[in-house]
Amino acid sequence: MVANSHAPAGGKGQATVVVDRISMRYRVPSTKAQPEEARGRIRMIKRVLGQTPMVSVQALNEMSLVVERGESVGIVGRNGSGKSTLMRLISGQSAPTSGAVFASSVPVMLGVNAALVPELSGDHNIVLGCLAMGMTRRQIADMFDSIVELSGLEGAIHLPMKSYSAGMASRLRFAIAASVNPEILLIDEALNTGDAQFRERSKSRMDELREKAGTVFLVSHSLETINELCSRVIWIDKGDLLMDGKPKEVTETYADFARNLSKGNGFSAAKLRDDARRNLIATKVLERSPGRRSA
Amino acid sequence: MAKIGSQPALPEPAAVQSMPIDTRGLIRVGARPAFVDYLIQLWDHREFIFYDAKARVQSGNRRDRLGSAWLVLNPVFNGLTFYFIFGVLLGTSRGIENFIGYLIIGVFIFQMSARAITNGARSIQGNRAVIQAFNFPRATLPIAVNVREILAGVPVILAMLVLILLFPPTEAVTPLWLLVIPALFLQTVFNLGVGLILARVISTINDVTHLLSFAMRAWMYGSGVFFSFDQFIENDTVLSIVQLNPLYVVLDIVRDCVLYATLPEWRSWAILSVWGLGVLAVGIVYFWRAEESYGCE
């Protein structure tokens, strides 16, 4: 119980994000030779059709979290540990394989990947994106110049998006997403690919949003940033929740773990991981609403 | 559960704390709204629909040197091909009054449905990036496709009418020509319904896109675009079944109004309305039921 001093007593605070027993499994094609699991006709047919065998990848094992208004939650973990998957589930960009995420308002994710409508010009994409987020034409007109400024695209804003470099497209997408002031904000810095100038600009906008938002989730590879900005940190490894507590404690353990791994001390690293997990206070969500009691 | 790269099992957590949560006031993220709420959301996103439609009409043919002229040139070339093969060589034109006008209407109007249905069917698959980036009711995308086809279709229909006036025998412009508008409206409603159904199917079974072009071709032959059923089908029952085809009915109504100055039968309107509204109702409900799944690959 000591490590979890943040834990609210009996949910007195106002929960804004409730992650209830979610897990995520992807089915993806694999080029690796498969054990003879699907024998016979189906396997034959698949081979004739040139279908690569599918494998399941468990991205996130069952976990629950309750986050309250005013909390800034940092998420740390190695590459491929499930940080971005968790963020995608909380923001509703993917549906979990099992479980559900509840939120007090629509969570908005500030990621910076992928283009929008490649045939349309940057300015058309801005209007389209803002309309999709439910803004009115008047609000868009007010925000338009600041979006263009934040994206740093200047003249290129009138060119079709397919002519943009990856960095330009991601800057534009970030600028569009950052134009609303969400109550629940998710920031995936691990995806940030902008140049130094853009990083400076986007940081100030993120700070602004973070101050206004009631609840923030932050993924960053910089433990410094996490320590500075977050009031609570969770550590995920290979899809498992290992630690959930005060920023300094969690980031130090995680840094220790990463240092051991990079030095090749697999055994010490595994011990750190197991110890962290052994001290974890997991959460179980009980529904309290009348008539919808969970067993 | 077997995992890739198996590792020793993790120890169990020290304890599990129960947190009673009042889920009233919380919404499930990405949850499908109730049907009526969904319709309201669609209405609230009308500006998104129109903006998307308008922007894509403008950018649609930018790659071609002749740009939007292809909207008209395409059916013209189609019509020429059919004219030589069926009209001149095979002689399906016999017994059809004003065959050129008959053919022009068939090709132009059928093409509108073919484009709207094909594009509507691909609207989810082709817009994954936007779907994953923003939360909005997904049915706006197939609807926007149909609005776009209407916007692009206005000059095409005008070109069609001009062509009919250019080729002899010249038809007189009568007030009946105005009835083309409600016929095309019902056609669009029908296209949207089919597009919604196919969009959901294709979002999970992409293979259907390959079948779509064959299905549209078969449909075209079954709609009397360049021949008249009356000459080929003797059996009355078969004929009346063939004439239930909604696209055939649209062509029939437009030809009656524009070429033959006849008021279309009320039966034709009834068939077309039932098809249009029925398919739209089925389509929107069917599409809405999978609303949560469109963001997944």
Cβ–Cβ below 8 Å for A120 and B8: no
Residue contact A288–B55, C-beta within 8 A: no
Residue A86 lies in a domain: yes
Same domain, A158 and A209: no
User: Residue A50, exposed/middle/buried by CB under 10 A (0-12, 13-18, 19+)?
Assistant: exposed
> Do both A169 and A97 map to the same domain?
no
* Residue A74 is assigned to a structural domain of this protein: yes
From A11, A100, A280, residue closest to B19, measured CB to CB = A11
Q: How confident is the model at residue A91 (pLDDT cuts 50, 70, 90)?
A: confident
Judging contacts by C-beta atoms under 8 Å, the chain B residues touching residue A18 are 21, 23, 26
Query: Is B69:B159 a contact under the CB 8 Å cutoff?
Result: no
- Do A274 and A214 sit in the same domain of this protein? yes
Question: For residue A175, how many other CB atoms are within 10 A of its CB?
Answer: 27
Highest averaged pLDDT of the listed ranges A8-17, A177-186, A248-257: A248-257
Sign of CA dihedral A56, A62, A66, A67: negative
What is the per-residue pLDDT for A193? 57
Q: What percent of chain B has pLDDT over 70?
A: 96
DSSP type of residue B139 = T
Boundary of a domain, candidates A151, A181, A211: A181
Instruction: Give chain A positions within 8 Å (CB) of B11.
Output: 274, 277-278
Q: List chain A residues with CB under 8 Å of B123.
A: none
- CA of A159: which chain B residue's CA is closest? B59
Start-to-end CA span in chain B (Å): 23
Quick one: pLDDT at residue B254?
A: 94
Same domain, A153 and A88: no
Interchain pair A281, B3: CB under 8 A: no
Are A170 and A96 contacting, i.e. CB atoms less than 8 angstroms apart?
no
The CATH number linked to A248 is 3.40.50.300
Q: Closest approach of chain B CAs to the CA of A56, in angstroms?
A: 8
- If phi > 0 it is left, if psi is from -120 to 50 it is alpha, else beta; for residue A33 that is beta
| Same domain for A212 and A80 | yes
Kindly state the average pLDDT of the residues A213-239: 87
The average pLDDT across A261-270 equals: 88
Per-residue pLDDT, A1: 37
pLDDT above 70 covers what percent of chain A? 87
- Residues of A within 8 A of B135 (CB-CB) are 92, 106, 132-133
Binary contact (B17, A7; C-beta < 8 A): yes
- Number of Cβ within a 10 Å radius of residue B52: 28
Chain B residue with minimum CA distance to A120: B59
Instruction: Give the closest of B20, B51, B133 to A10, CB-based.
Output: B20
Token pair belonging to A37: 């699991």
Please report whether residue A42 resides in a domain: no
Tell me, yes or no, whether A161 lies in a domain.
yes
Does A273 map to a domain? yes
Q: Give the least confident one: A20-29, A282-291, B243-252, B267-276.
A: A282-291
Strands (E), chain A: 15-29, 54-68, 72-76, 98-103, 108-110, 184-188, 215-219, 232-237, 240-245, 281-287
* Residues from chain A contacting residue B47 (CB–CB below 8 Å): 131, 136-137
Rounded to an integer, what distance in angstroms lies between the CA atom of residue A118 and that of residue A160?
7
Mean pLDDT for the stretch of residues B187-200: 96
pLDDT band of residue A249 (cuts 50, 70, 90) is very high
% of chain A at pLDDT higher than 90: 20
* pLDDT reported for residue B116: 95
Contacts of A287 in chain B (CB under 8 A): 20-21, 23
* Alpha-carbon distances, residue B174 vs A236, B180, B258 (angstroms): 74, 11, 8
A207 and A261, same domain (yes or no): yes
Q: Do B56 and A114 touch (CB under 8 A)?
A: no
pTM of the predicted structure, to 2 decimals = 0.82
Q: Best residue in B1, B3, B6, B19 to probe A by mutation, most A CBs within 10 Å?
A: B19
% of chain B exceeding 90 in pLDDT? 43
**What mean pLDDT is predicted for residues B156-170?**
86
Residues A251 and A175 in one domain: no
Asked if B133's CB is within 8 angstroms of A129's CB, the reply is yes
Average pLDDT on A250-276 reads 90
Task: Determine, for residues B45 and A273 on separate chains, whether the beta-carbon distance falls below 8 Å.
Answer: no
Pairing status of strand A232-237 against strand A215-219:
unpaired
- Residue A112 domain-assigned? no
Using an 8 Å CB-CB cutoff, list chain B residues near A282.
13, 15-17
* Contact check, Cβ <8 Å, A132/B28: no
User: Which of A104-108, A206-210, A272-276 is least confident?
Assistant: A206-210
Angstrom distance (rounded) from CA B155 to CA B162 = 10
Which member of A18, A120, A281 has the closest CB to residue B14? Answer: A281
The CA distance from A145 to the nearest CA of chain B, in Å, is: 19
Which residues of chain A make contact with B56, given a CB cutoff of 8 A?
117, 119-120
How far B140 CA lies from chain A's nearest CA (Å)?
Answer: 9
Mean pLDDT value across chain B: 87
As a whole number of angstroms, the distance between CA B79 and CA A68 comes to 66
Per-residue pLDDT, B197: 96
Residues A173 and A195 grouped into a single domain = no
pLDDT at residue A10 greater than cutoff 70: no
The number of beta carbons lying within 10 Å of the beta carbon of residue B73 is: 13
d(CA A247, CA A230): 7
Mean pLDDT check: name the lowest of A1-5, A79-83, A162-166, A200-204.
Answer: A1-5
Partner-chain residue, chosen from B7, B56, B292, that has the shortest CB–CB distance to A95 = B292
- In a domain, residue A227? The reply is yes
pLDDT surpasses 50 at A7: no
CA-based nearest distance A131→chain B, Å: 5
In a domain, A123, yes or no: yes
Per-residue pLDDT, averaged over A73-101, amounts to 88
Q: Tell me, yes or no, whether A88 and A4 share the same domain.
A: yes
Give the model's pLDDT for residue A293.
43
Mean pLDDT of the region B69-82: 82
Query: Please, which pLDDT band fits residue A35 given cuts at 50, 70 and 90?
Result: low
Distance, first Cα to last Cα, chain A: 25
Chain B residues in contact with A136 (beta carbon < 8 A): 47
Q: Nearest CA to A274 among A260, A290, A288, A295?
A: A260
Q: How confident is the model at residue A113 (pLDDT cuts 50, 70, 90)?
A: low
Instruction: Out of A116, A133, A282, name the one closest to residue B13 (CB).
Output: A282
- Residue in A106, A120, A274 nearest the CB of B135: A106
Last-in-domain residue among A158, A181, A204: A181
Q: What value does the mean pLDDT take over residues A1-9? A: 41
Q: Please, where are the H alpha helices in chain B?
A: 35-44, 46-60, 70-82, 99-121, 128-133, 140-166, 180-204, 208-221, 229-232, 236-242, 246-258, 266-289
Q: Is the pLDDT of residue B2 over 90?
A: no
- Residue B6 has a pLDDT of 44
- Taking the C-alpha atoms of residue A221 and residue A142, their distance in angstroms, rounded to an integer, is 34
pLDDT at B188: 96
Tell me the pLDDT band of B5, cut-offs 50, 70 and 90. Answer: very low
Measure A228 CA to nearest chain B CA, in Å: 28
Whole-number pLDDT of residue B196: 96
Q: Are residues A263 and A137 in the same domain?
A: no
User: Strand, helix or coil at A28?
Assistant: strand
Q: Domain range holding A249?
A: 1-28+55-107+183-283
Same domain flag for A17 and A135: no
Residues A195 and A173 in one domain: no
- Contact residues on chain A for B57, CB-CB shorter than 8 A: none
Q: Which of A128, A240, A284 sits opposite B52 (nearest CB)?
A: A128
A164-187 mean pLDDT: 83
Structural tokens at position A288: 């309290």
Please state the domain count of chain A.
2
Main-chain dihedrals φ then ψ at residue A73, nearest 5 degrees: -105, 120
Domain boundary among A181, A213, A229: A181
Per-residue pLDDT reduced to its tens digit, B31-69: 889 999 999 999 999 999 999 998 888 777 666 777 777
Instruction: Read off the tokens for A102.
Output: 């509840």
